[in-house]
Amino acid sequence: MRYELYYWPTIQGRGEFVRLALEEGAADYVDVARMPERKGMGVPAMMRLMKEAPAGRLPYAPPFLKAGRQVIAQTANILLFLGPRLALVPRAEAGRLWVHQLQLTIADLVSEAHDTHHPIAGSLYYDEQKPEAKRRAGNFRAERLPKFLGYLENVLAHNPGGDRHLVGRSLSYVDLSMFQVIEGLRYAFPRTMEGMSRKHPRLMALHRRVKDRPRIAAYLASDRRIPFNQHGIFRHYPELD
Amino acid sequence: MRYELYYWPTIQGRGEFVRLALEEGAADYVDVARMPERKGMGVPAMMRLMKEAPAGRLPYAPPFLKAGRQVIAQTANILLFLGPRLALVPRAEAGRLWVHQLQLTIADLVSEAHDTHHPIAGSLYYDEQKPEAKRRAGNFRAERLPKFLGYLENVLAHNPGGDRHLVGRSLSYVDLSMFQVIEGLRYAFPRTMEGMSRKHPRLMALHRRVKDRPRIAAYLASDRRIPFNQHGIFRHYPELD
């Protein structure tokens, strides 16, 4: 099965959680919106599919994945679909729900990280909501980020399979997402994250191990990995850190 | 199987999406935090389980559901679990993922509705973030709400099974959630929603049909249904409408 991923071609964004799973799972996939328009791909192909998905199953927004005739959107839902197909989840239903639950909690953290620079509206520029961004980022650094990371560190500490993975004894897609969130937070909030590293040794070790996995390391070194920039979810504004 | 639901006892909040599914599914369940502490229930029982969930599967926040030894959190994840057990999803995997995808999109709308009155921090009072709330609510009314409702109306219009349900030819849990969101939006933004009703006839008809279902109507008339108030997700501040 050749998967088709549809996501904005110039940012990591939410699509990156899917890219990491596809890469670690050694899936055959094409990142459609990054391919040439003259070959019938690119952003126009993404826009077309948003308006005419098979069976009326329209995505609300990218990312979405095409697998045969099926179109699946919502990042966590795409990973729910891919998990068993790429051997990135436990076998039992209970374990799969637990992985998904953690993925949804990470999605909440990602939304809140985004809203630090866009607390009023995604359609306005950062400069149009700077005072509000400073207030929201202050609360994020002081309360929300420590609460989320403290929780996730605690999940690692309580995993009966050991603290090398969030769930069980082997890698699941939520470990990859956890890597991506720490990577993004370090880009956006280097000072804050430096201060938090010591309190979250298990998370930091997990981040390092994922980064060093051969397929992930090869991906990160390739030009398939889009660098962080000031258009994605994680943006570095020194005044917010 | 007797299900145990754990959620804050004085608000509808996110727990309400689970309550509606349990009620429509005629499930045997107990709303633990609303039961007496002297019987070992109430909020303290909820707090205990958050710290000592079986197999280290700690919820980040309520709501969560206990089913035997299994503890499941994140509203959409709870519904993913309950859907097949309460006959509130299609049989095929593709249909179930599509229901879940819509539920996650509704969850995004719910978060944005909440942030209209708390754009800076959930830990601050509304009065401490009123100017920011006015700005964010203005954008929500003008851009975000029309985009979400327009999308969901379009999903109804494109459903090959007809516009009586969001998915297929029969009721699924996402129809119940859609009812709840419209109910909440009408409470919080009565003026805005009056203006939007005519443009979204299918959504409004769906809302009415769900409200009239015998089990839902009986639930809404019972004291199990907590009235809307100024502590939940949907709050009525006339200056934000």
pLDDT (tens, 9 = 90+) of chain A, 241 residues, equals: 899 999 999 999 999 999 999 999 999 999 999 999 999 999 999 999 999 999 999 999 999 999 999 999 999 999 999 999 999 999 999 999 999 999 999 999 999 999 999 999 999 999 999 999 999 999 999 999 999 999 999 999 999 999 999 999 999 999 999 999 999 999 999 999 999 999 999 999 999 999 999 999 999 999 999 999 999 999 999 999 9
Contact A104 B55 (CB under 8 A): no
Give B-chain residues touching A59 at CB under 8 angstroms. 101
Write down the ipTM of this complex: 0.98
Question: What is the predicted pLDDT for the residue at B199?
Answer: 96
Give A-chain residues touching B98 at CB under 8 angstroms. 57
Kindly state the tokens that stand for A167.
Answer: 């769930």
pLDDT band at B222 (very low <50, low <70, confident <90, very high): very high
Is A103 in contact with A174 (CB distance < 8 Å)? yes
Give B-chain residues touching A155 at CB under 8 angstroms. 56, 58
Question: What is the predicted pLDDT for the residue at B240?
Answer: 98
- Residues forming CATH 3.40.30.10 domain(s) in chain B: 3-85
**What percent of chain A is helix, strand and coil (3-state, nearest 5)?**
60, 5, 35
Please state, in angstroms and rounded to a whole number, the distance separating the CA atoms of residues B63 and A96: 19
Is B22 in contact with B82 (CB distance < 8 Å)? yes
Contact B57 A98 (CB under 8 A): yes
Question: What is the predicted pLDDT for the residue at B170?
Answer: 97
Question: What is the predicted pLDDT for the residue at B3?
Answer: 98
Q: Are strands A3-6 and A64-67 parallel, antiparallel or unpaired?
A: antiparallel
pTM for this predicted structure: 0.98
Question: What is the predicted pLDDT for the residue at A140?
Answer: 98
- Residues forming CATH 1.20.1050.10 domain(s) in chain B: 93-213
Question: What is the predicted pLDDT for the residue at A203?
Answer: 98
Give A-chain residues touching B136 at CB under 8 angstroms. 119-121
User: What would the mean pLDDT of B211-219 be, rounded to a whole number?
Assistant: 98
Angle formed at CA A49 by CA A44 and CA A51, multiple of 5 degrees: 100
Q: Which of A39, A67, A151, A68 is nearest to A106 (CA)?
A: A151
φ, ψ at B231 (rounded to 5°) = -120, -10
CATH architecture of B93-213: Up-down Bundle (1.20)
Nearest to B97 among A72, A143, A160 (CB): A72
Contact B72 A135 (CB under 8 A): no
CA distance to partner chain B, nearest, from residue A54 (Å): 10
Question: What is the predicted pLDDT for the residue at B135?
Answer: 97
Give A-chain residues touching B135 at CB under 8 angstroms. 120-121, 129, 132
User: What would the mean pLDDT of B188-212 be, rounded to a whole number?
Assistant: 97
Round the average pLDDT of chain B to a whole number and report it: 97
Question: What is the predicted pLDDT for the residue at B25?
Answer: 98
Question: What is the predicted pLDDT for the residue at A225?
Answer: 98
Of the residues A17, A49, A52, A60, the best mutation for testing chain B's interface (the one with the most B CB atoms within 10 Å of its CB) is A60
Question: What is the predicted pLDDT for the residue at B102?
Answer: 98
Q: Put the strands of the sheet holding B70-73 in their side by side order.
A: B29-31, B3-6, B64-67, B70-73
Taking CA atoms, what residue in A is nearest to B64?
A101
Contact B100 A58 (CB under 8 A): no
Is B153 in contact with B203 (CB distance < 8 Å)? yes
CA distance to partner chain B, nearest, from residue A96 (Å): 10
Question: What is the predicted pLDDT for the residue at B110?
Answer: 98
pLDDT band at B11 (very low <50, low <70, confident <90, very high): very high
Contact A97 B81 (CB under 8 A): yes
Is B44 in contact with B37 (CB distance < 8 Å)? yes
Please state, in angstroms and rounded to a whole number, the distance separating the CA atoms of residues B12 and B24: 16
Q: For the structural domain made of B3-85, what CATH number should be given? A: 3.40.30.10
pLDDT band at B5 (very low <50, low <70, confident <90, very high): very high
